[in-house]
Amino acid sequence: MKYLVTFLLVFMCTTHTHAQTKKIDSLNRLISLSRSDTQRINLKIKKLSILENGNLDSAIAFAKLVIGEAQQINYKNGEVNARMRLASD
């Protein structure tokens, strides 16, 4: 019984990690294909929400980059959303 529980725990952790990587890869592809700056910022905020579940250090660094990009293009809604994500991290 102990081995079964250990196996299931390892299996569930592994599948969650792969799903997270696939989502990030898919968002990276969409970010590279986005035509407008605001669309790119919104996709990066979605990517940020996925990063929050895995690695908080990466999420914080990425949030700061997104905030800087949003400020450069004067996209207040994107800046606010990224700052809210950063505050929750």
Cα 23-57-52 angle, rounded to 5 deg: 40
HSE toward the beta carbon, residue 69, CA cutoff 13 A? 19
Would you write out the chain's pLDDT as a tens digit for each of its 89 residues?
A: 666 666 656 666 555 545 578 899 999 999 999 999 999 999 999 999 999 888 888 999 999 999 999 999 999 999 999 999 999 87
Which pTM does this prediction carry? 0.74
| Residue 11, amino acid | F
Q: Is the dihedral of CA 28, 33, 34, 37 positive or negative?
A: positive
